[in-house]
Amino acid sequence: MHLGHAHTHHGAVSADAHRPDGTRRALRVGLGGPVGSGKTATVAALCRALRDTLSLAVVTNDIYTREDAEFLLREAVLPPERIRAVETGACPHTAIRDDISANLEAVEELEDAVGPLDLILVESGGDNLTATFSKGLVDAQIFVIDVAGGDDIPRKGGPGVTTADLLVVNKTDLAPHVGSDLERMARDAKEQRGELPVLFTSLRSAEGVGPVADWVGARLAAWTA
């Protein structure tokens, strides 16, 4: 990478912390995880929790174009100009990991159009347990699983569960109904992740996303420090 050119010309180097005009760019946080674990609901809840204090935008990577973006638009969690959908050619994990160029275009266009921004949430399309974000695209990533997907997911590991900066175990309110053992999930996660944090959430109440929002806030404080 030729960092020397990055400040003088448009969009040269992906992970550079500064924009072409020399200002610090927004913190980019990726949210990945299996289909149905509540990624989009988490994004929506984070937007509601943070939008009054931060300048926010969202990039979605759907398997089918724009579905998640349209959910966020319908829920009116952010004005439409702050939500972009990236088309992924049926391979959302490629767009967030192997060829991140379309996502980088999207985050830069958002900063150009509605910036300056504090935070951009990049949501992966629901794919599988191996999908993780490139470090060239995001500064931190959250992996969202849920108790209904099986309480053995943390034990099975995989790059998302093992290496994500934050593991969110969602839908804890369903645990009694689906026979998932939350304590076992916590133990297995600890085994896989060591000191990396794990949060258990239920988004049925508005405050449910609070711990995740606090974690994002701490990352942002470190980013702007």
Partner 1 sequence: MRTGTRSALLVLADGRFPAGGHAHSGGAEAAVKAGRIKDADDLEAFCRGRLHTTGLTSAGLAAGAAHGLDPHALDAAADARTPSPALRAAARRLGRQLMRAARAAWPDPGLDALAAAFPRGAHQPVVLGAAARAAGLGPEDAAHCAAYETVGGPATAVVRLLGLDPYRATAVLARLAPDMDRVAERAAAAAGEGVDALPAASAPLLDLTAEQHATWPVRLFAS
Number of H helices, E strands in the chain: 10, 7
Least Å distance, CB 25 to partner 1, is 15
Burial of 39 by CB count in 10 Å (0-12 exposed, 13-18 middle, 19+ buried)? buried
CB of 90 or CB of 225, closer to partner 1 = 90
CB of 12 or CB of 196, closer to partner 1 = 12
Contacts 24+ apart (CB under 8 A), 203-207: 203/38, 203/41, 203/42, 203/45, 203/170, 203/171, 204/173, 206/45, 206/48
Q: Of these, 14, 48, 155, 163, which contacts partner 1 (CB under 8 A)?
A: 14
Binding track over 90-129 against partner 1, x by CB under 8 A: xx--xx--xxxxx-xx------------------------
Contact 175, 147 (CB under 8 A): yes
| 86 strand-pairing partners | 61
Which span sits near partner 1 by CB under 8 A: 28-36, 80-88, 158-166, 208-216?
80-88
Query: With binding defined as CB under 8 A, does residue 89 bind partner 1?
Result: yes
Query: With binding defined as CB under 8 A, does residue 11 bind partner 1?
Result: yes
Q: Of these, 60, 88, 201, 202, which contacts partner 1 (CB under 8 A)?
A: 88
Least Å distance, CB 90 to partner 1, is 4
Burial of 33 by CB count in 10 Å (0-12 exposed, 13-18 middle, 19+ buried)? buried
The count of other CB atoms within 10 Å of the CB of residue 155 is: 15
Query: With binding defined as CB under 8 A, does residue 64 bind partner 1?
Result: yes
Residues contacting partner 1: total by CB under 8 A: 30
Residues forming the site for partner 1 (CB under 8 A): 1-2, 5, 8-14, 63-67, 86-91, 94-95, 98-102, 104-105
